[in-house]
Amino acid sequence: MGSPADGAGQFYRVTWFVPEPVCASGDIITDMSEMSSAQQQSEGSVEEKNAAACPVVEAVEEVGSQWRLVVLYDLEEGEKRFNELKRSTGASSRTLSRVLDDLEDASLVNRRVEDRPVATYYSLAPKGEALCPVFDEVEAWAEEWL
């Protein structure tokens, strides 16, 4: 075992810090009122700077994870029972159940329950069907570029 002199067994603290705003003279600005209005405007929020991309970001967040995409893509073929989706996607029961609940909450998937025999069917809701052309375009892009 190493001795403290060679650094063995010691822990080092890593410190992260955010750069502070600096004025033209190189002085650190401690009061935001010292910044010119042009500097303050250029500092605008991330949302303001990316307003044009917001609908795309929101759409990607709505569709969400890889499993959501797999299930939505699989349901393009039509209505399927839970076990059919499980087999065709390869998802575990727990993952598939969670994903289907999330997609139903987002109004992308409809669930239909039959009493005799007991069965649950899933299909794309109109909002989910509207994604089909998007999937087709992404698929065409992937075939060309990936």
b or e along 106-125 (b: 16 or more beta carbons within 10 Å of the residue's beta carbon)? bebbbeeeeeeeeeebbebb
Same domain, 71 and 100: yes
Number of domains into which the chain is organized? 2
Query: pLDDT for 94-139, tens place per residue?
Result: 999 999 999 999 999 999 999 888 899 999 999 999 999 988 898 8
| Through-space distance between the first and last CA atoms of the chain, rounded to whole angstroms | 51
Kindly state whether residue 130 falls inside one of the protein's structural domains: yes
Give the alpha-carbon dihedral of 56, 59, 64, 66, to 10 degrees: -60
Query: Which of 10, 33, 49 delimits the end of a domain?
Result: 49
b or e along 58-69 (b: 16 or more beta carbons within 10 Å of the residue's beta carbon)? eeeeebeeebbb
Running DSSP on this structure, what letter comes out for residue 28?
Answer: B
Identify whether the C-beta of residue 75 lies closer than 8 Å to the C-beta of residue 123: yes
Same domain, 84 and 119: yes
Kindly state whether residue 1 falls inside one of the protein's structural domains: no
Token pair recorded at residue 15: 């410190």
Query: pLDDT for 13-28, tens place per residue?
Result: 444 444 554 455 555 5
Domain housing 36: 19-49
Query: Which of 49, 64, 93 delimits the end of a domain?
Result: 49
